[in-house]
Amino acid sequence: MGLIGDLLSTLPEGEVSDVVIGLHWTAVVTSTGGCRKCGLASTLVSNHEHQDRPDVPDAGHLEKSSGLFLAEYARSDSPLMRSIGVAAINSLLPINEQSFIEQNAGQAIVNFGAGKHVVLVGRFPFIPELIAHVGKLTVLEENPLPGELPADSAHEVIPDADVVAITGMTLLNRTLERLLSLCTDRSFVILLGPSAPLSPVLFDHNVDLICGSIVDDISPVVRAVQQAANFRQVHQAGVRLVSMSRQ
């Protein structure tokens, strides 16, 4: 069934009230058992021509769909539909406050990576802080800058890492399961970013710590997403950074 299938199998049904696809972020708002929640995911798009088939066939009517119907989009061949699907998954996941601590991903990596070799999959703004505190930092990126390695070098560096921190965007671009398969038993594996589902299902797939987000103030966050906010702006609008660890 795979990781996505395992996640989908744990979700309750929910009523969709809003779907917003912004320049950087996608937000899905659902209500389950009287609890209204918002899930986020990075917005993935592919190059297209106006005469091509639509990226989202049901565009304009998504709020008429059920939450689980939208969550199934996470299996789609369309990058944009996968963004909607993962945001819907994150919206439907039950929130158990006792399972979380308030901690951002950068601090978590510093805590677990002090004096160790850390491989970071994805470029994050806290990289200078990591360089100052971990033993060795290797950054993998699709479009590497000087000092970074291309993403296809993962098989060369991940097996030797003490800590592997992987962006949740890899769930959207379908590379997460391959990256997790490269991690050894001695590696401490972190999945991070707003796209990362706060679900214990991930602990069955070689993840040790999830650094994700909870939307506390839905309306301002949705409005920020609509207006092309980057994550710093979305965070300030009403998102809490939390971590969930394997018990």
Domain co-membership, 111 together with 208: yes
User: For residue range 2-28, what is the model confidence (pLDDT) as tens digits?
Assistant: 999 999 999 999 999 999 999 999 999
How far apart CA 137 and CA 128 sit, in angstroms, is 10
Beta strand 117-121 with 149-150 is: unpaired
pLDDT of residue 68 exceeding 90:
yes
Question: In this structure, are residues 126 and 113 in contact, taking their beta carbons and an 8 Å threshold?
Answer: no
CATH number of residue 227's parent domain: 3.30.390.100
Domain co-membership, 80 together with 53: yes
* Confidence (pLDDT) at 79: 94
Q: What is the number of structural domains in the chain? A: 2
Residue 221 tokens read as 């966050």
Domain co-membership, 198 together with 226: no
Domain co-membership, 132 together with 60: no
Q: Is residue 247 part of a domain?
A: no
Domain co-membership, 114 together with 174: yes
Q: Is residue 14 part of a domain?
A: yes
Domain co-membership, 194 together with 173: yes
Contacts of 60 (CB under 8 A, 6+ apart): none
Q: At what angle do helices 218-226 and 231-238 cross, to 10 degrees?
A: 160
CATH number of residue 120's parent domain: 3.40.50.11590
* Confidence (pLDDT) at 136: 96
Q: CB-hemisphere CA count at 13 Å for 35?
A: 15
pLDDT of residue 184 exceeding 90:
yes
Domain co-membership, 110 together with 198: yes
Q: Is residue 243 part of a domain?
A: no
| DSSP assignment string, 153-170 | GHHHHGGG-SEEEEETHH
Average pLDDT, the chain: 94
Domain co-membership, 221 together with 207: no
Domain co-membership, 133 together with 192: yes
Q: Is residue 69 part of a domain?
A: yes
How far apart CA 59 and CA 229 sit, in angstroms, is 21
* Confidence (pLDDT) at 11: 97
Q: Is residue 110 part of a domain?
A: yes
Q: Is residue 55 part of a domain?
A: yes
Domain co-membership, 134 together with 232: no
Residue 122 tokens read as 């994805």
* Confidence (pLDDT) at 56: 86
Instruction: State what percent of residues in the chain have pLDDT above 70.
Output: 98
Q: Which domain holds residue 146?
A: 99-213
Q: Is residue 246 part of a domain?
A: no
User: For residue range 149-172, what is the model confidence (pLDDT) as tens digits?
Assistant: 999 999 999 999 999 999 999 999
What SS3 state is found at 174?
A: coil
Domain co-membership, 200 together with 231: no
Residue 6 tokens read as 């395992």
pLDDT of residue 47 exceeding 70:
no
* Confidence (pLDDT) at 50: 60
pTM above 0.85, yes or no: yes
Domain co-membership, 196 together with 208: yes
H or E stretch including 64?
none
Q: Is residue 245 part of a domain?
A: no
